[in-house]
Amino acid sequence: MEEVKKRLLRFTQTHLYKKLFARDNHEVGVAAVLVPLFFQGDQLQVILTQRTENLSSHKGQVAFPGGRKDPEDENTVATALREANEEIGLPSSHVDVVTTLYPVTSVNNLKVYPVISFINPHFEMILSQDEVSSAFTVPLETFLSDHNHEMDNIMHRRRNYTMHSFNYFDSVNDRQYKIWGLTAAILIQISVIAFNREPDFVNHPQLRFKTWFLPRSLDDDDFDTSNL
């Protein structure tokens, strides 16, 4: 756990990260998602949810716990913690926030801040009936593998988008899930940093995240971030 935390924190110390974060435009809507990580044995896991069909947007899709920033939220971390508690019953006392990655812009023009955390998974999961139809865990390294990985082309508001997609079968819920779009993109980015390696699949040219790079080593104690 400490090695993964160190890599995530070192990434946020790079000049590239700070440059990207400085581009935030407060004229658009702001949202935050909690990325709840935990170790099961020696395997790093992440909790995901499936949205209900009742919601006005992204109905039935796999997502992180999260949502729009409310006026009373002190910051995006507070938003992510509040939403995780409302959606899956995760108490903030069970959450160790590591860092916040730079925001990703959704197709609805929301700036979405991924709040990376390690959680104590021993809590009573209570799903919001209005927002969450199910919750499940996935090994994080899934999102570096070409197994069950596809590229999807979708049309949204008369624009074509090419997106990463993963098919994942959860044996606990006995259900097949499709993890795609912004959620898949964030998971790939976090996996690249956490495991300090590129994905096995070929990265589509339109989807080359500016942060899909590996410094000499995020494990190197003498790693110099001054040139990034």
Q: Please indicate, yes or no, if residue 127 is contained in any of the structural domains.
A: yes
Q: Please indicate, yes or no, if residue 228 is contained in any of the structural domains.
A: no
Q: What is the pLDDT along the chain (228 residues), one digit of tens a residue?
A: 888 888 887 776 654 455 545 454 455 689 999 999 999 999 999 999 999 877 666 667 999 999 999 999 999 999 999 999 999 999 999 999 999 988 888 877 788 999 999 999 999 999 999 999 999 999 999 999 999 998 877 776 677 777 889 999 999 999 999 999 899 989 998 998 999 888 888 655 444 444 444 444 444 444 333 333
| 63 CB neighbour count, 10 Å cutoff | 20
Domain enclosing residue 182, as ranges:
2-207
Q: CA 168, 170, 176: angle at the middle one, nearest 5?
A: 55
Contact between 144 and 191 (Cβ < 8 Å):
yes
Of 129, 108, 111, 132, the closest CA to residue 47 belongs to: 132
**Domains in the chain, number:** 1
Q: Please indicate, yes or no, if residue 220 is contained in any of the structural domains.
A: no
Q: Please indicate, yes or no, if residue 130 is contained in any of the structural domains.
A: yes
Looking at residue 202, its pLDDT comes to 63
- CATH at residue 200: 3.90.79.10
In this prediction the pTM is: 0.83
Q: Please indicate, yes or no, if residue 170 is contained in any of the structural domains.
A: yes
DSSP string, 58-81: STT-EE-SEEEPPTT-SSHHHHHH
